[in-house]
Amino acid sequence: MVAISLSAGAVARIRFAVSCLWEAVASIRVLRDPGDHAVHLPWVRRVRPPLVEAGLAGPNGGLLWQLVPAPPGYLADFLTPPPTGLIPDLAAELAALRATPGDTVRAHLDLYPGERTPALAALYADPPAGLQRLTEEIEAYWRIALAPDWPRLRLLLDADVTARTRLLAEEGAAALLNDLHRQVRWEADTLLVAQRHCLAPDVTDGPGLVLIPSVFVWPSVLSVSAGDAPQLAYPARGLGTLWERSTGVPEALAAVLGRGRARLLTELTSPVSTTELARRSEMSPAGVSQHLTALRAAGLVVTHRRGRALLSARTDLAEALLSATG
């Protein structure tokens, strides 16, 4: 159990961020131990063969693969510098990673058990050159493993932030922190995290705690203290249906609403954009927009803005209708 004391000022400065690097690092942990991350098995089966062929995973995996052990092994904090906000930028995060001081890299590598592999020894001996190699591997990994699915993942992460900021507004910071995960508890001005490896210090001043929704950190949480602010990565909501394909439209619902509108309701398992709905349903964006207008008028869909995107979600009435029609 790790205890992080948060001052009143630090609680007031709690913020959310979305991170490409967190998803890259956490997804490698999934590839290393897919049996413990069953919800992601469809993704693992699809991306593992090309990653192994590229030398980015498996027995011949490179520096990135060697730095990220299977859970619950120690994960170097320098791999995930604090992200800056809700608009993730892989290039900016990689630039921050390359700027990690050599002493920090060596200090974190000293925490790895056992003898260093040649790749880790080279990183220890020459951190700037090693970090350059590492960021190039991350870019290659991202293109193969995550870029094709990033729009879908990003929407799920954004929807999680929207739901939790609403909880923060309605019930306060204590309710927010206690709702993150079963391993996280807020008690007597202290954040308790049931995790073995965590170097996060008490937070009295500075930027405060950074909360990072993650697709691939499920079913656990990860916390680090890289940079000035401790970070807590937790599983985003809605992961259960992330990789599922549509099971079809209930005929009773299609008879009432029409097949197109019924299809959209069944696809709205989490808040999504019109563009994503068009991709899932194989309709035109204009057609999706027209159907959503009708569904909103009937009280079955609500739409809210998230940054530049408009996200649509089912209402309680729609959930009841779907349940009743099977």
User: What pLDDT does residue 203 have?
Assistant: 45
Residues 142-171: pLDDT tens digits?
A: 999 999 889 889 888 988 898 899 888 889
User: What pLDDT does residue 54 have?
Assistant: 94
Cα separation, 308 vs 140, whole angstroms: 28
Q: What does pTM read for this prediction?
A: 0.75
Over the chain, what HEC string results? CEEEEECHHHHHCCEECCCHHHHHHHHHHHHHCHHHCHHHHHHHHHHHHHHHHCCCCCCCCCHHHHHCCCCCCCCCHHHCCCCCCCCCCHHHHHHHHHCCCHHHHHHHHCCCCCCCCHHHHHHHHCHHHHHHHHHHHHHHHHHHHHHHHHHHHHHHHHHHHHHHHHHHHHHCHHHHHHCCCCCEEEECCEEEECCCCCCCCCECCCCCCEEEEECCCCCCCEEECCCCCCEEEEECCCHHHCCCCCCCCCHHHHHHHCHHHHHHHHHCCCCEEHHHHHHHHCCCHHHHHHHHHHHHHCCCEEEEEECCEEEEEECHHHHHHHHHCC
User: What pLDDT does residue 188 have?
Assistant: 75
User: What pLDDT does residue 22 have?
Assistant: 96
Residues of the chain with CATH 1.10.10.10: 251-324
Q: Which residues of the chain have pLDDT under 70?
A: 1-5, 195-207, 225-228, 244-248, 307, 326
User: What pLDDT does residue 326 have?
Assistant: 61
Q: Which are the contacts of 62, defined by CB distance < 8 A and separation ≥ 6?
A: 55, 56, 119, 137
Q: Which are the contacts of 163, defined by CB distance < 8 A and separation ≥ 6?
A: 237
User: What pLDDT does residue 147 have?
Assistant: 93
User: What pLDDT does residue 279 have?
Assistant: 81
User: What pLDDT does residue 2 have?
Assistant: 66
Which one is the CATH code of 251-324: 3.30.1360.150, 1.10.3720.10, 2.30.110.10, 1.10.10.10? 1.10.10.10
Cα separation, 260 vs 249, whole angstroms: 9
Cα separation, 197 vs 61, whole angstroms: 24
